[in-house]
Amino acid sequence: MANKGPSYGMSREVQSKIEKKYDEELEERLVEWIVMQCGPDVGRPDRGRLGFQVWLKNGVILSKLVNSLYPDGSKPVKVPENPPSMVFKQMEQVAQFLKAAEDYGVTKTDMFQTVDLFEGKDLAAVQRTLMALGSLAVTKNDGHYRGDPNWFMKKAQEHKREFTESQLQEGKHVIGLQMGSNRGASQAGMTGYGRPRQIIS
């Protein structure tokens, strides 16, 4: 990876807009959740965008996070004993996390790209992915989520309804309100089109 200098003009404007989407309050909540989910040995980042990026950059903590949401026998990501120091190994570790998160149920639209985290291009997207992962964990409610369930919103779930045959038959004789109503205003007393109004003096 080549180090890039500061951006100017339109690129700078775009980067500035992306950086404004980063939420520092959300960062605190995500850090709390990751520490509760993975245990205190993951440490804590320095406050702010850069500290958050450096903390997650090598992919080890992200891998531990997604592994903690699975039962003991089926961990989807292999976590190395020593954190990887080579750039491509770190990016590979992040990519494995993204694959495992997608398999867990996070939609592609909620996923960040590896460079968003690694080069700090869009850390708001990283937050969005972690929020989606937390929401899924709370929604699944399978006993693997640790932390306050109010930190994440539950995803909407299907509510299937069952009707008996007699209820379905009754429903065929009801005129739905989409068809209009025969109550209220009527055309009683109206004259047909084209006839002059009768004025009697």
Query: Considering the domain boundaries, does residue 65 fall inside one?
Result: yes
Amino acid at residue number 196: P
Who wins on pLDDT, 185 or 62?
A: 62
Task: Give residue 3's pLDDT band: very low, low, confident or very high (50, 70, 90).
Answer: low
Amino acid at residue number 120: G
For helices 60-68 and 49-56, give the axis angle rounded to 10 degrees.
Answer: 70
What are the structure tokens assigned to 98, written together?
A: 């993204």
Query: Considering the domain boundaries, does residue 158 fall inside one?
Result: no
Is-contact 144 69, C-beta < 8 A? yes
Query: Considering the domain boundaries, does residue 193 fall inside one?
Result: no
Amino acid at residue number 193: Y
Query: Considering the domain boundaries, does residue 139 fall inside one?
Result: yes
Does the pLDDT value for residue 120 go beyond 70?
A: yes
- Measured between its terminal Cα atoms, the distance across the chain in Å is 96
- Alpha-carbon distance 77 to 92, whole Å? 11
Does the pLDDT value for residue 61 go beyond 60?
A: yes
Query: Considering the domain boundaries, does residue 95 fall inside one?
Result: yes
Mean pLDDT of 6-21: 60
Does the pLDDT value for residue 157 go beyond 60?
A: no
> What is the model's pLDDT at position 9?
60
At 40 the three-state DSSP class reads helix
Percent of the chain with pLDDT over 90: 2
Mean pLDDT for all residues in the chain: 78
Query: Considering the domain boundaries, does residue 56 fall inside one?
Result: yes
CATH code of the domain containing 22:
1.10.418.10
Which residue range is the domain that position 94 belongs to?
12-151
Beta carbons within 8 Å of 60's beta carbon, 6+ residues apart: 79, 80, 83, 84, 93
Q: How many domains does the chain have?
A: 1
> What is the model's pLDDT at position 99?
92
Beta carbons within 8 Å of 75's beta carbon, 6+ residues apart: 67
Beta carbons within 8 Å of 159's beta carbon, 6+ residues apart: none
Does the pLDDT value for residue 8 go beyond 60?
A: no
Q: What is the pTM assigned to this prediction?
A: 0.67
**Count of alpha carbons within 13 Å of 48, Cβ hemisphere only?**
3
For 63-116, write each residue's pLDDT tens digit.
888 888 888 777 778 888 888 888 888 889 899 999 998 988 888 988 989 888
Who wins on pLDDT, 112 or 156?
A: 112
> What is the model's pLDDT at position 49?
80
Query: Considering the domain boundaries, does residue 173 fall inside one?
Result: no
> What is the model's pLDDT at position 191?
62
Does the pLDDT value for residue 28 go beyond 80?
A: yes
CB atoms within 10 A of CB 93: 23
Query: Considering the domain boundaries, does residue 160 fall inside one?
Result: no
What are the structure tokens assigned to 193, written together?
A: 């089109």
